Amino acid sequence: MTFIILACALPKVWWPFFVVLFYAVSVLPMTIARRRSQDLSGTSPCSEFALFLTAGIVLSTFAYPIVLAKSQVIRWMACNLTLAGNVIMYLTIIMFALRENNAEGAYGGMF
């Protein structure tokens, strides 16, 4: 999150901060699919669609700052800081999901 704030504060352009919305939305498809079907170990249309939506959201998170930098709305320094923040944030989400992946939990784990 520090890299995202630096990407916004140094050039004084706050467009890269919109990736935070993608962070919040990226976990929703898998959470909804997990609540909808108890067994996500096999393939089902619900789990496959949730994986498709999650992949699209994650891809959009990485593409958004590149498109902004390419159209010269933000500088490339801000783009690089945003991309570094994306990597750190998604690694944090993945590590949390793998750590909390027990089926006996209140919500049944993330994956």
Specify whether the CB–CB gap between 60 and 22 falls below 8 A.
Answer: yes
pLDDT at 33: 84
pLDDT at 101: 65
DSSP codes, 65-88? HHHHHHTTSS-HHHHHHHHHHHHH
| Side-chain-side CA neighbours of residue 4 (13 Å) | 20
Secondary structure percentages of the chain, helix, strand, coil, to 5 = 70, 0, 30
pLDDT at 102: 59
Specify whether the CB–CB gap between 95 and 110 falls below 8 A.
Answer: no
pLDDT at 97: 76
Q: Could you tell me the pTM of the whole model?
A: 0.80
pLDDT at 84: 96
pLDDT at 47: 83
pLDDT at 71: 96
* Mean pLDDT in consecutive groups of 10 residues from the start of the chain, 111 residues: 88 90 90 75 80 94 95 94 94 82 56 52
pLDDT at 25: 92
